[in-house]
Amino acid sequence: MDCKIKKILWIIVGVFLLGFGGAMLRLSGLGTDPFTCINLGISKVAGILYGTSTIIFNIILFIPMLLWYKKGIGIGMLINMTLLGYISDFCIYMWQKIGVTTVELSNNFFLQCTFLIIGVLIFCLGIAFYIEADLGVAPYDALGQIIELKGNIKFAINRVFTDILSVIIGFTLGSTVGIVTVITAFFTGPIVQFYRNLIRKTLS
């Protein structure tokens, strides 16, 4: 199989896993990752779908990317910024069709934790596929690179601040902040790296 076609398939798989895992985290009622948090807040206040909110938010963040980080622009960026939110919304819809809702899960702490753990693992696997494809990055992910490039603030440091700001804004707009927010902040990196190594060994 052509290398680029294989990588595009990785992106598609990765974005689907991101959407599916993100939907499980949303349903858990125990918080979400910072990007989801701010967009859920925006969607709630604006009365629009989460997927629509992510596109609008990404378009805004695409402006500095277009100005200062053109190397991050690619088909991976396009697929991520246009499809991820709607895949998550669709997964939420399908879960609700079989009777799984945040309200139902809130009555069963074991199921909440199950959705949390499986959701984080699937979410991180999606990130790993998406990163390994190396065909562009989503505008939110590029933001930290831009700040490091233009503001001379290390990515590891400025990403913490952008994530915290996203959580604060999301919480102010009505999003749920909880243990998932903490887990994604501290454990996403190591889990994603584990998956990336696994993908290189088995699929490269």
Q: Is the per-residue pLDDT at 53 higher than 70?
A: yes
Flag whether pLDDT at 80 surpasses 70: yes
Query: Per-residue pLDDT averaged across 151-175, rounded?
Result: 88
The number of domains in the chain is 1
Q: How far apart are CA 174 and CA 45, in angstroms?
A: 8
User: In the prediction, which pLDDT does 202 show?
Assistant: 82
Q: What is the average pLDDT score of the chain?
A: 91
What are the pLDDT digits (tens) for 98-119? 999 998 898 999 999 999 999 9
Please tell me the pTM assigned to this model. Answer: 0.89
DSSP character string of 74-109:
SHHHHHHHHHHHHHHHHHHHHHHHTT--HHHHHT-H
Q: How far apart are CA 19 and CA 74, in angstroms?
A: 20
User: Residue 203: is its pLDDT beyond 80?
Assistant: no
For the chain, how big is the Rg over CA atoms in Å? 16
The residue segments making up the domain with residue 158 are 3-203
Provide the b/e sequence for 33-61 (b: ≥16 CB within 10 Å).
bbbbbbbbbbbeeeeeebbbbbbbbbeeb
Interatomic CA distance for residues 180 and 93, integer angstroms? 21
Average confidence (pLDDT) over 139-160:
85
Residue 37, pLDDT score: 93
